[in-house]
């Protein structure tokens, strides 16, 4: 079960905020979510030397998820929902993922050796999800590592890092694997598994339609 399964309840919870946001164009809400991701990426650069960013970053990640839900709700409530809004939403989501993952990889917390595979795997899982809609099976959000799952695990890692730093948690080939290395490695594996799960879901939906 992925966190996406609780999205309907989360959206229902946010409905009370929508009237206050109706004067704001939903595209600005989408772009605000992107700004949260870039700010989190910047804070990763200084988090190891000064641990207070480890408490700010989870708040930014939660705000990103919240704004990602609110832009669609506001668009529907104000009659501003349109096809290009979906393009903007998907595009900024991918930019947010790249910013956050490369923000970790380019910081002292980890390296590109861990961050690049994680970024490719996450983008692949998102691509497969979008591909489902392209072939008529609907946008696929399921799997082990959806967007909300990534933000939750990353937020928890940041809270842990506030207390313990970025310790070595394992050794691979004699080399140290630190907390954020392990997190990016887990993202790589789980995102690839998510891609497989989404492909299987698409295949089942299309197969059922032929039956």
> Is-contact 203 135, C-beta < 8 A?
no
pLDDT digits (tens, 9 = 90+) for 51-80: 999 999 999 999 999 999 999 999 999 999
CATH number for the 3-210 domain, one of 1.10.260.40, 3.40.50.720, 1.20.120.1760, 3.40.50.300?
A: 1.20.120.1760
Question: Can you give the residue ranges of every domain in the chain?
Answer: 3-210
- Quote the pLDDT of residue 161: 97
- Quote the pLDDT of residue 13: 83
Indicate the pTM of the whole model: 0.92
Start-to-end CA distance of the chain, whole Å, equals: 27
- Quote the pLDDT of residue 200: 96
- Quote the pLDDT of residue 173: 83
Which of 100, 97, 95 minimizes the C-alpha distance to 40?
100
Q: Is 171 helix (H, G, I), strand (E, B) or coil?
A: strand
Residues of the chain with pLDDT under 50: 1
Q: Residue 177 has what DSSP assignment?
A: E
In residues, how long is the chain? 211
C-alpha radius of gyration, the chain, whole number:
18
Which of 176, 38, 39, 191 minimizes the C-alpha distance to 109?
176
> Is-contact 69 14, C-beta < 8 A?
yes
């Amino acid at each position: 079960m992925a966190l996406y399964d609780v999205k309907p309840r989360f959206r229902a919870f946010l409905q009370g905020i929508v009237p206050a946001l109706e004067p704001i164009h939903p595209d600005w809400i989408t772009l605000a979510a992107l700004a949260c991701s870039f700010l989190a990426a910047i804070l990763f650069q200084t988090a190891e030397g000064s641990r207070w960013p480890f408490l700010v970053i989870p708040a930014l990640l939660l705000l990103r998820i919240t704004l990602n839900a609110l832009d669609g709700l506001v668009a529907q409530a104000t009659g501003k929902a349109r096809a290009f809004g979906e393009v903007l939403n998907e595009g900024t989501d991918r930019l947010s993922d790249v910013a956050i993952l490369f923000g970790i990889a380019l910081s002292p917390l980890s390296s590109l050796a861990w961050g690049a595979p994680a970024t490719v795997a996450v983008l692949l899982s998102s691509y497969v999800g979008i591909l489902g809609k392209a072939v008529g099976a609907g946008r696929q959000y399921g799997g082990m590592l959806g967007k909300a799952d990534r933000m939750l695990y990353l937020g928890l890692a940041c809270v842990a890092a506030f207390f313990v730093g970025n310790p070595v948690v394992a050794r691979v080939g004699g080399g140290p694997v630190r907390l954020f290395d392990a997190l990016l490695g887990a993202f790589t594996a789980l995102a690839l598994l998510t891609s497989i799960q989404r492909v299987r879901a698409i295949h089942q939906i299309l197969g059922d339609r032929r039956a």
